[in-house]
Amino acid sequence: MSPLLAVLSQDLRLAYRRRGEMTTPLMFFILVTMLFPLGLSPQPELLRTIAPGVLWVAALLAALISQQSLFKSDFDDGTLEQWLLIPAPLELLALARVASHWFVSGLPLVVLSPLMGILMNYPEAAMAEMALSLLFGTAILSLLGAVGAALTVGLRQSGVLLPILVLPLAIPVLIFGAQAAAQAARGEDPSGALYLLAALLVLGITLVPFAIAAAIRVSMES
């Protein structure tokens, strides 16, 4: 079995056996979204205007929460060391880990997002475009977060450091994603922003695994 599939199937099996953990970022996503109507005002027009931004910021924060544990247990029990030793490219293993992480944390968020869209009075006709923007966006966030998680995995204060490292890098994703969702909500064509997101995703899949691998090597050396 190829190392990519091995990591993927092992990760997914582990995630299935610890199903409870999967729901934590989702609950976080729902709660953060809920705070905005409570904090601002429940007027339907206001909610409709802020919905794209709120959903996207909530998704960004939820992705960040779930990324903390991306390499943690493998670092603690020595699996990462084995990753360095086995005759398979570390970049590929890292990509497999990102893919499985996105599958158990990003994808459920995308599936849940139309529901949160309804709570935020987001127009139903634009739901598919919003979910599509989150589909691309959460995948890019998983990639970027993996760099931060790999750089901070051996550190005691990794919890606070990770957002500081990842959030500035995630800004283009937020801009294009929220723009696509907002354009779709206004009945405009969001394809420009969606194409840009897709381009970022392709760029990320191509380049980011190298950065993750370099980061894992740095963390294992210390």
- Footprint on this chain of other proteins (rule: CB under 8 A): 147, 151-152, 154-155, 157, 161, 164-165, 167-169, 171-172, 175-176, 179, 196, 200, 207-208, 211, 214-215, 218-219, 221-222
What whole-number distance in Å separates Cα of residue 7 and Cα of residue 212?
15
Q: How far is the CB of 177 from other proteins (least distance, A)?
A: 10
Q: How far is the CB of 191 from other proteins (least distance, A)?
A: 15
Q: How far is the CB of 193 from other proteins (least distance, A)?
A: 9
Q: What angle do CA 138, 143, 145 make, to 5 degrees?
A: 85
What whole-number distance in Å separates Cα of residue 87 and Cα of residue 145?
25
Taking residue 220's Cβ as centre, other Cβ atoms within 10 Å add up to 16
Nearer to other proteins, 58 or 140 (CB): 140
Q: How far is the CB of 198 from other proteins (least distance, A)?
A: 14
Which DSSP symbol is given to 87?
A: S
> DSSP string covering 101-131, please?
HIIIIIHHHHHHHHHHHHHTT--GGGHHHHH
What phi and psi values does residue 41 have, to the nearest 5 degrees? -175, 145
Which DSSP symbol is given to 42?
A: -
Question: Shortest CA distance to 140 belongs to which of 190, 109, 106?
Answer: 106
Q: How far is the CB of 128 from other proteins (least distance, A)?
A: 23
Q: Give the N- to C-terminal CA distance of the chain in Å, as an integer.
A: 31
Nearer to other proteins, 98 or 116 (CB): 98
Nearer to other proteins, 29 or 71 (CB): 71
Nearer to other proteins, 104 or 144 (CB): 144
Nearer to other proteins, 26 or 72 (CB): 72
Q: How far is the CB of 143 from other proteins (least distance, A)?
A: 11
Nearer to other proteins, 124 or 189 (CB): 189
What whole-number distance in Å separates Cα of residue 71 and Cα of residue 33?
27
